Amino acid sequence: MKKDRSAFVSLVSVGVLGAVLAALAVFAPALVSAFIEHFDRPERIYLPIVVTFYAILPFAAGVLICLWKLLGNILAGEVFLPQNVRLLRSISFLLFFATIIFAVAGYFYMPFYLLGVCAAFMVLIVRVVKNCFAAAVELKEENDLTV
């Protein structure tokens, strides 16, 4: 089915992003050095960028793990489950903590403020989707009791 193919492509994408995240965890210092070498005072922003990346890393990994489990449930035909609502709630909290880190890091390197706004926007989107899933789970449970 087309929806299964889409969920599978999403699952593969999560796996690829997980591999990219792992590679970035290893090569981040070298990549940041290469990125900032053209700045006026690269030594001033190197540490904030690297520290922010490693502070965000566990939250990004957590989001990918939650997405992996969520997509696995969807591929198994288990869509409207309380577990999926919990996974979406976890994703929103992980993104919220990333937003806070970006907001603090923006003091040292202003582009992080933009990433913080993007993360905050994603929190909002995920919370709306979570609320939709929660309502659907509630309806499903009521229907299961009725039948």
- Please tell me the least confidently modeled range out of 79-83, 100-104, 139-143: 139-143
Please compute the mean of the pLDDT values over residues 72-99 and round it to a whole number. Answer: 96
Q: What is the pLDDT at residue 65? A: 98
Q: What is the pLDDT at residue 40? A: 67
Q: Is 110's pLDDT higher than 90?
A: yes
Amino acid at 26: V
Sign of the CA dihedral with 126 first, then 129, 131, and 137 last? negative
Q: Could you tell me which of 123, 128, 132, 124 has the C-alpha nearest to residue 80?
A: 132
Q: What is the pLDDT at residue 36? A: 86
**Is the Cβ–Cβ distance between 32 and 49 less than 8 Å?**
yes
User: Percent helix, strand, coil in the chain (nearest 5)?
Assistant: 90, 0, 10
Q: What is the mean pLDDT of the chain?
A: 93
Please compute the mean of the pLDDT values over residues 29-33 and round it to a whole number. Answer: 92
- Give the count of beta carbons closer than 10 Å to the beta carbon of residue 26: 9
Please compute the mean of the pLDDT values over residues 120-145 and round it to a whole number. Answer: 93
Residues 6+ apart with CB under 8 A from 86: none
Better-scored residue on pLDDT, 5 or 38? 5
- Here the tokens at position 74 are 């969807």
Q: What is the pLDDT at residue 130? A: 97
The domains of the chain are located at 2-146
Q: Is 41's pLDDT higher than 90?
A: no
Amino acid at 77: G
- The CA-based diameter of the chain, rounded to the nearest angstrom, is 69
Q: Is 42's pLDDT higher than 80?
A: no
